[in-house]
């Protein structure tokens, strides 16, 4: 998964109605691929800093975000096999972005005007901004499994990063990347703002991306924020876990409960601290993603030039009873476990995103003290994906992921576990009382790729053999518009957050998301299935 810490753009604190400037828009819509400093990704995404392409092929460069770009281009003497979706910004916003790239990254090219952008847009296959929006936001739902149906629960005017069930047992909490927390009411289908990030975060610590949301058995709400502090050298990730008092018909604003941080790594691979959840032991488990793609060093100015550190690519454990908790590392070698859960037997399962080198995405059974390979070993590969892949320390033992026996979502010969770049984002256990064909299995959402051939954009079902560490994986529904989070609801229903409205790589990620529901077609079918079991 292209890191959401960058893909969400390290969002500013401004409200959704405020007009961000070119730098903010660049961070939100461009930095995931081209980097915060415009340096690109070697042999993958071209640089925009000091890029001769911008001057030599000005019209092609300006048309790329208007209609997309596919094919080979040469930038500063290097050939890139480009694949870029359109960006759903209007003419004025794109003009701001272009001029930011021109001035901030040392490009000696003439200024761009709104009139120039509008004239070029008129020559593309999407001659107006409205036509582009319509094409990038299809108002469709995927086909559901037999006996099931999809429906729209609510459109959103923001991009969600996490769903969590509310302590009241009825509503659902929704996290946005800028730390806004919303509620969804299943009766009215209304989405309402609970907390605005700007009301409790410290803007002096830098632009924010929030990827973690949870509650505990006391009814306290937790929010995980990552803030890129550029006043420190190297740039520093200020990590804060915010917590409220126990819920009692409402919450006051969350306050800092735990703070830590580390230097940001090279390139756009800072996954940040994301998912957290309370385990059966009462402790809080927290996923801390990697700050590199595959353990690489680098030479980007203002960023750390080493690989991982003591806090990254791990699963932490914290004690919620403490007012000053300390980190216990529960498991190592986890590149980016965006979601984890415990099954009915108390086994901890997590879905992990692989590297840009076409390594598999993983489904791991995460156990105390185990090492899951990163950055030394990937999936079930026995070869190194990169020349810079470090040698593993002597006698270090790795725990491998589940092997996917198919028929879907992996290589035909069996891979550990999922198709490269498909970006598994949530795993839920659906008990044996759930109607067929989903009952007694795990439901996994896959966010979808940013690289190469389309993969993901779907829901898959996994039936797991824990003795053999094998999975039978079947596609349940596709395509979805980048499903990023799921929760179960009463009545054998699943609420799914789509990050945006684009259900393909070509549609991009610049549209707001929505909530959809997967549920049995009839209440009677649910009751019959329960009685049969």
pLDDT digits 0-9 by tens, 253-282: 999 999 999 999 876 788 999 999 999 999
Q: Residue 315 belongs to what H/E stretch?
A: strand 314-318
Task: Note whether 118 and 142 are same-domain residues.
Answer: no
Task: Note whether 297 and 178 are same-domain residues.
Answer: yes
CA distance 480 to 233: 40
For the cut 80, the answer to whether the pLDDT of residue 3 exceeds it is no
Burial 17-45 (b: 16+ CB within 10 A, else e): eeebebbbbbbbbbbbbbbbbbbbbeebb
Is residue 348 within 8 A of residue 363, CB to CB? The reply is no
Residue 376: which residues within 8 A CB-CB, separation 6 or more? 295, 333, 389, 390, 391, 392, 396, 398
pLDDT tens-place string over residues 58-71: 999 999 999 989 88
Q: Domain with 71 in it: what CATH number?
A: 1.10.760.10
CA distance 201 to 177: 13
pLDDT score, position 524: 58
pLDDT score, position 239: 98
pLDDT score, position 444: 99
Lowest mean pLDDT among 402-416, 431-445, 478-492: 402-416
pLDDT tens-place string over residues 140-172: 899 999 999 999 999 999 999 999 999 999 999
Residue 144: which residues within 8 A CB-CB, separation 6 or more? 150, 477, 518
Chain centroid offset of residue 48 CA: 24
Peptide bond into 173 cis (omega under 30): no
Q: What percent of the chain has pLDDT over 90?
A: 71
Peptide bond into 87 cis (omega under 30): no
Task: Note whether 285 and 217 are same-domain residues.
Answer: yes
pLDDT score, position 414: 64
Domain boundary among 119, 135, 151: 135
Task: Note whether 41 and 143 are same-domain residues.
Answer: no
pLDDT score, position 83: 79
Task: Note whether 153 and 98 are same-domain residues.
Answer: no
Q: Average pLDDT of 388-398?
A: 92
- pTM beyond 0.85: yes
Q: What percent of the chain has pLDDT over 70?
A: 93
Task: Note whether 426 and 458 are same-domain residues.
Answer: yes
Q: Average pLDDT of 186-196?
A: 97
Distances (CA, A) of 432 to 116, 145, 445, 460, 530: 60, 17, 20, 17, 8
Q: Average pLDDT of 297-316?
A: 89
Is residue 277 within 8 A of residue 330, CB to CB? The reply is no
Calculate the average pLDDT of the chain: 90
pLDDT tens-place string over residues 478-522: 999 999 999 999 999 999 999 999 888 878 788 899 999 999 998
pLDDT score, position 323: 96
Strands, E, within 133-254: which ranges? 148-155, 160-165, 172-176, 181-184, 191-195, 207-215, 221-229, 236-243
Q: How many CB atoms lie within 10 A of CB 140?
A: 11
For the cut 90, the answer to whether the pLDDT of residue 85 exceeds it is no
Task: Note whether 419 and 432 are same-domain residues.
Answer: yes
Q: Domain with 303 in it: what CATH number?
A: 2.120.10.30
pLDDT score, position 20: 65
For the cut 80, the answer to whether the pLDDT of residue 10 exceeds it is no
Task: Note whether 270 and 248 are same-domain residues.
Answer: yes
For the cut 80, the answer to whether the pLDDT of residue 8 exceeds it is no
For the cut 80, the answer to whether the pLDDT of residue 453 exceeds it is no
Greatest CA span in the chain, whole angstroms? Answer: 72
Task: Note whether 224 and 120 are same-domain residues.
Answer: no
pLDDT score, position 451: 74
- How many residues comprise the chain? 533
Q: How many structural domains is the chain composed of?
A: 2
Q: How many CB atoms lie within 10 A of CB 167?
A: 19
Residue 504: which residues within 8 A CB-CB, separation 6 or more? 448, 454, 457, 479
pLDDT tens-place string over residues 121-148: 999 999 999 999 888 877 889 999 999 9
Task: Note whether 301 and 356 are same-domain residues.
Answer: yes
Task: Note whether 111 and 146 are same-domain residues.
Answer: no
DSSP string, 245-300: PPPSSS-PPPEEEEEEEEE--STT----EEEEEE-TTS-EEEEE--SSSSS-----
Domain boundary among 113, 135, 157: 135
- Domain span holding position 291: 138-532
CA distance 507 to 351: 25
CA distance 152 to 189: 9
pLDDT score, position 7: 44
Answer left, alpha or beta for residue 429, where phi above 0 means left and psi between -120 and 50 means alpha. beta
Q: Average pLDDT of 195-206?
A: 95
pLDDT score, position 177: 87
pLDDT score, position 331: 99
Domain boundary among 97, 117, 135: 135
For the cut 50, the answer to whether the pLDDT of residue 15 exceeds it is no
Lowest mean pLDDT among 10-24, 55-69, 405-419, 498-512: 10-24
CA distance 452 to 80: 12
Q: At what angle do helices 91-104 and 22-29 cross, to 10 degrees?
A: 90
For the cut 80, the answer to whether the pLDDT of residue 413 exceeds it is no
Q: How many CB atoms lie within 10 A of CB 317?
A: 19
Lowest mean pLDDT among 175-179, 255-259, 318-322: 175-179
Task: Note whether 131 and 165 are same-domain residues.
Answer: no
């Amino acid at each position: 998964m292209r890191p959401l810490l960058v893909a969400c753009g390290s969002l500013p604190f401004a409200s959704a109605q405020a007009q961000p400037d070119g730098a903010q828009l660049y961070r939100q819509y461009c930095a995931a691929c081209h980097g915060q400093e415009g340096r690109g990704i070697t042999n993958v995404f071209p640089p925009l800093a000091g890029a001769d392409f911008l001057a030599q092929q000005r019209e092609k460069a300006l048309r790329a975000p208007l209609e997309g770009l596919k094919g080979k281009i040469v930038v500063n003497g290097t050939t890139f096999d480009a694949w870029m979706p359109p960006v759903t910004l209007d003419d004025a916003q794109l003009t701001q972005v272009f001029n930011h790239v021109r001035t901030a990254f040392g490009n000696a090219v003439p200024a761009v005007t709104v009139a120039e952008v509008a004239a070029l847009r008129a020559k593309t296959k999407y001659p107006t901004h409205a036509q582009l929006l319509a094409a990038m936001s299809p108002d469709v739902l995927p086909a559901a499994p037999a006996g099931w149906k999809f429906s729209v629960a609510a459109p959103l005017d923001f991009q969600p990063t996490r769903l969590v069930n509310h302590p009241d047992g009825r509503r659902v909490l929704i996290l946005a990347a800028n730390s806004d927390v919303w509620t969804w009411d299943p009766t009215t289908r209304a989405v309402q703002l609970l907390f605005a990030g700007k009301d409790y975060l410290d803007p002096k610590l830098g632009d924010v991306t929030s990827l973690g949301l949870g509650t505990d058995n006391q009814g306290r709400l937790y929010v995980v924020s990552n803030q890129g502090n550029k006043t420190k050298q190297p740039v520093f990730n200020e990590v804060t876990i915010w917590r409220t008092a126990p819920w009692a018909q409402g919450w006051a604003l969350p306050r800092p409960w735990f703070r830590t941080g580390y230097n940001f790594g090279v390139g756009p691979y800072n996954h940040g601290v994301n998912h957290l959840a309370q385990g059966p032991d009462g402790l809080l488990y927290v996923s801390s993603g990697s700050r590199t793609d595959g353990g690489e060093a680098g030479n980007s100015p203002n960023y750390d030039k080493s690989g991982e550190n003591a806090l990254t690519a791990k699963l932490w454990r914290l004690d919620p009873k403490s007012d000053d908790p300390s980190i216990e590392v529960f498991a190592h070698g986890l590149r980016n476990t965006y979601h984890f859960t415990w099954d009915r037997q108390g086994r901890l399962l997590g879905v992990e995103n692989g590297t840009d080198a076409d390594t598999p995405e993983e489904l791991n059974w995460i156990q105390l003290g185990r090492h899951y390979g990163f950055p030394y070993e990937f999936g079930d590969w026995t070869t190194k994906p990169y020349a810079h892949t470090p040698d593993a320390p002597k006698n270090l033992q790795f725990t491998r992921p589940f092997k996917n026996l198919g028929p879907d979502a992996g290589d035909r010969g069996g891979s550990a576990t999922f198709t490269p770049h498909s970006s598994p984002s949530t795993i839920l256990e659906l008990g044996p009382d759930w109607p067929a064909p989903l009952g007694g299995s795990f439901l996994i959402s896959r966010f979808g790729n940013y690289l190469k051939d389309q993969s993901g954009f779907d829901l898959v079902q996994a039936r797991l053999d824990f003795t053999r560490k094998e999975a039978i994986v079947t596609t349940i529904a596709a395509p979805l518009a980048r499903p990023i989070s799921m929760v179960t609801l009463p009545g054998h229903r699943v609420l799914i957050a789509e990050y945006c409205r684009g259900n393909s790589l070509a549609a991009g990620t610049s549209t707001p998301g929505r909530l959809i529901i997967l549920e049995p077609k009839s209440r009677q079918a649910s009751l019959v299935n329960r009685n049969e079991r």
